[in-house]
Chains A and B, each alone.
Chain A
Amino acid sequence: MKALSQRRRHPLAAVALLLMALLVTGGIYAVASSANEAKAQAVTFTANDVEEGGKLFAANCASCHGMGATGSDAAPSLVGAGAASVDFQVGSGRMPMQMDGPQAQVKPVQFTDEQVGQMAAYVASLGAGPAIPTDEMVDASEGDPAHGGELFRVNCAMCHNAAAAGGALTRGKYAPAIDGTSERHIYEAMVTGPQNMPVFSDANITPEDKQDIIAFLKTIESQGSPGGAALGSLGPVSEGLFIWVAGLGVIIAFTVWLTSRSS
């Protein structure tokens, strides 16, 4: 210690100190900003997967997304879209798109799980992007549904409805209902922002928070509506229609009965 304190007036002490400070700042920044970088592949792919995926891509996707997935007038570039994006879009049946429209519709899945994985491997090989989450990351039983509900109401409910029943957007687009969507696809939708959904990166909502949101969605899905018939959970539209048709019908029936003569 004595030696160190004696050298503090050495001409090079300032330089050494500056170097140390830079190293520390840079190190902290590297750790802190890593949240935005593509995660190491949670699900590993082989070189064979990439090759097979490339063939499938050329046969099924390249007509719109272009050879090499660099995009065209009809469809965006997939460089950097990531494996999660492919797993969501193709794995939920949205891609290949059935027809041109405001939004890709859900339809029966066109590929086997293995083929989806191969295409995901191919797109992931083009540039770093969000990876497919592992089963532990999306395990709803590990999440906190109460906290997830709070996050859902702030970040998701305005489009997807407080009961996750979906809702309309502008010019024919809509936010779909979430019930029945698998945990993995919910997670992937949050990290990739499919269609017009904004991206909720890990820097915004941490992976643990995403797990809580999934836990909330699975809780309300399994518990049902505490108020009885949910009528689609669409709020005043379906409830109003029901009470105008059924409620007024009952009232009209009663007035007819009240004024009719007994036989």
Chain B
Amino acid sequence: MADSREDASRTSVTLASPGQQLDEFENPGLPPHRPRLADRDPRAEKRAERQVALLFTISVIGTLLFFVGYFFIPLNDTIARLRLQNLTLGLGTAFAMLGIGVGIVHWAKTLMPDHEVTESRHEIRPENDRQDAEKIVNDILDESGIKRRPLIRNTLLGAVVLAPLPAIAIFRDLGPLPGNVLKETMWDAGVRLTRDPSGTPIRASDVTRGSAFHVIPEGLNEVENKLEEKAKAVVLLMRLDPSELNPSPGRENWGYDGIVAYSKICTHVGCPVALYEQHTHHLLCPCHQSTFDLEQECKVIFGPAARPLPQLPIEVDDEGYLVASSDFQEPVGPSFWERG
């Protein structure tokens, strides 16, 4: 160690500065070694030792605390008991980890040797390195005998070419391609609008001005892949003064006496847009604040959404219940590659 330090101090460094001759200056070397309190004072050393031991003991206690919480706090019906157990498990694990970590760092900083060490850089010899590498590759080729044994070479090539094929089969299992799934929902002509979550049908007379109904298609609660269907089919039903709606040509009969139904899936990234303000007739998406104006067929008036919310055409059946006149006329939710 002493030798290397002398080496370092003897080496001189040259620096080139623009417009000047190469200049030499002395290596300033390392700052003087300053002994720590624990190096000088045996009592400080003892104290540091006790501190490290205490930190490790805290870790032991933390682990014990974890097991006390795990085995001796039985859960019952109350939330208070669960909170107590969570607290003990969390605090126990935290102290178990922290005690070891802080203890080791404290040990290294106060008691382990802290002499500065200088190691000189090896000389770099690119030519030799390249020769070494070539020699290794040639040795491998010679020893494996791949040049002399074409049978092995050819079978190896075949194996390497075939080996990636299972990946194709595996990726194929991610399919099948969605097909029309993204473009169709459970809504169809004559499907009744029902309340979420009870699934009871809604009469047009139930929907008073200013009210908002959260709607699922009839029969949704019985289908097999309920959540997947629900994620596409949820609808918000609202009633306005018919004079406040401004339907574009061809969409005049998509509502019923001021009652309109719009998809609840945001056209930005698919959050449920259901924050309805009954006086401004704005629909707000809670994720990125896209705002849709019900008076303009849910046109985007603020935020990152690119398209208006799709409207579900509705009418009233013979018994006075609200039914869909067809599926949505465009895909619901965010954009996707094949949407066109």
Residues of A within 8 A of B (CB): 32-33, 35-36, 150-151, 154-155, 158-159, 167, 169-171, 173, 175, 193, 195-201, 203-204, 223-224, 226-228, 257-258, 261-263
Contact = CB atoms under 8 A, between A and B. Distances in A.
A169 B206 contact: no
Contacts of A201: 206, 208, 211
Contacts of B238: 198
A198 B284 contact: no
Contacts of A257: 105
A262 B38 contact: yes
A227 to B, nearest CB: 8
Interface in B295-336: 302
A204 B195 CA distance: 8
Given A261-B109, A263-B37, 18 more contacts: A32-B203, A35-B206, A36-B205, A36-B208, A151-B197, A159-B275, A170-B277, A170-B284, A170-B289, A173-B277, A196-B280, A198-B238, A199-B208, A203-B207, A203-B208, A204-B195, A258-B105, A262-B110
Given A158-B286, A193-B278, A223-B79, A204 B196 contact: no
B276 A198 contact: yes
Of the listed residues B109, B205, B275, B279, the one surrounded by the most CB atoms of chain A closer than 10 A to its CB is B275
Contacts of B109: 261-262
B203 A203 contact: yes
| Prevailing SS type, chain A contact patch | loop
A58 B282 CA distance: 33
Contacts of A223: 79
Contacts of A150: 197
Interface string B38-57: 10000000000000000000
Of the listed residues A155, A198, A199, A223, the one surrounded by the most CB atoms of chain B closer than 10 A to its CB is A198
Contacts of B289: 170
A226 B275 contact: no
B276 A170 contact: no
Given A167-B286, A228-B87, A199 B277 contact: no
28 contacts: A32-B203, A35-B206, A150-B197, A155-B214, A158-B274, A158-B286, A159-B275, A169-B277, A169-B284, A170-B284, A170-B289, A171-B280, A193-B211, A196-B279, A198-B212, A198-B238, A199-B208, A203-B203, A203-B206, A204-B206, A204-B211, A223-B79, A228-B86, A257-B105, A261-B36, A262-B110, A263-B36, A263-B37
Nearest to A33: B205
Of the listed residues A36, A154, A258, the one surrounded by the most CB atoms of chain B closer than 10 A to its CB is A154
B242 interface: no
Contact of B82 (A167, A170, A200, A226): A226
Contact of A199 (B38, B114, B211, B284): B211
B175 to A, nearest CB: 33
A127 B188 CA distance: 41
Nearest to B209: A199
B263 interface: no
A178 to B, nearest CB: 15
A159 B195 CA distance: 19
Closest 4 CB pairs of A and B: A203-B206, A198-B212, A196-B277, A199-B211
Of the listed residues A32, A33, A154, A158, the one surrounded by the most CB atoms of chain B closer than 10 A to its CB is A158
Given A36-B206, A169-B284, A262-B37, A199 B278 contact: yes
A14 to B, nearest CB: 22
A173 B284 CA distance: 11
B291 interface: yes
Contacts of A170: 277, 280, 282, 284, 289, 291, 302
Interface string B96-114: 0000000001000110001
Nearest to A160: B275
B210 interface: yes
Interface string B66-95: 000000000000010011001100000000
B210 A193 contact: yes
A19 to B, nearest CB: 21
B256 interface: no
